[in-house]
Amino acid sequence: MSAAEPRRIVLFRHAKADWPQVSDHERPLSERGRTDAAVAGRKLADTGISFDLALCSTATRTRETWKLAVHELAHRPKTVYEERIYEASPGELIVVLNELPDEVRNVIMIGHNPGVHGLAEILSGSAEGDARERMHRRDFPAAGFALLTCDEPWKSLEPGVATLTDYWAPSD
């Protein structure tokens, strides 16, 4: 990869979860969620991005989403299960991304709303475009993902420095 190529960040919301009598952290995917996670994985594969790293919340539904989606990718990236992603604000998620080593070019973060939606909004600033309109119209549903590009090093990642280049939701 040339130094001129931007960094890519995919913010991936977990697929639809079930509501059994367990703690929120332990909620599993629903049947529809399992189907949508695999479909999202195929759409992620269609982007052609080879991820260097996956950062996944420790919640059961995010781990299950990633397990189903990653099987669809041509290359399985190193996966780090990060407790700080669960119930994180956009600012807390930026802190996690700021800690990434410079050699990581393409990262996928599997997390939760409202954090991932807020982070996509904040990183892309006030930019307009088709992807942003689709993201607003669908309100970042379960199994949706946003693709952002950024020319800054991870330690300089802050509001408004990225470009929202694509957005996908299961209803697309």
Q: What is the rounded distance in angstroms from the CA atom of residue 90 to the CA atom of residue 95? A: 9
Cis peptide before 114 (omega within 30 of 0): yes
For residue 86, tell me if it sits in a domain. yes
pLDDT tens digits, the chain, 172 residues: what are they?
Answer: 445 689 999 999 999 999 999 999 999 999 999 999 999 999 999 999 999 999 999 999 999 999 999 999 999 999 999 999 999 999 999 999 999 999 999 999 999 999 999 999 999 986 677 777 777 677 789 999 999 999 999 999 999 999 999 999 998 7
- Which pLDDT score is estimated for 116? 96
Two structure tokens written together for 141: 């549903």
For residue 134, tell me if it sits in a domain. yes
Closest-CA residue to 149 (of 170, 120, 113, 128): 120
Provide the pairing of β-strand 145-150 with 162-168.
Answer: antiparallel
Beta bridge pairs of residue 153: none
- Which pLDDT score is estimated for 1? 45
- Residue 74 exposure: Cα atoms within 13 Å on the Cβ side: 7
Residue 34 carries which side chain, given as an amino acid letter?
R
Q: In which domain, by residue range, is 132 found?
A: 7-168
Q: What is the rounded distance in angstroms from the CA atom of residue 22 to the CA atom of residue 161? A: 39
- Residue 35 exposure: Cα atoms within 13 Å on the Cβ side: 5
pTM of the model as a whole: 0.94
- Which pLDDT score is estimated for 2? 46
Q: What is the CA radius of gyration of the chain?
A: 15
Q: Domains in the chain: how many in total?
A: 1
For residue 158, tell me if it sits in a domain. yes
For residue 124, tell me if it sits in a domain. yes
Two structure tokens written together for 41: 């994985």
What would you measure as the largest C-alpha separation in the chain, in angstroms? 50
For residue 72, tell me if it sits in a domain. yes
Closest-CA residue to 28 (of 60, 73, 3, 67): 60
Distance of CA 5 to the CA centre of its chain: 20
For residue 54, tell me if it sits in a domain. yes
For residue 1, tell me if it sits in a domain. no
CATH number of domain containing 65 = 3.40.50.1240
Confirm or deny that 61 is annotated as ligand binding: yes
Provide the pairing of β-strand 53-56 with 106-111.
Answer: parallel
Q: Where are the alpha helices (DSSP H) in the chain?
A: 31-46, 60-70, 90-98, 115-124, 130-138
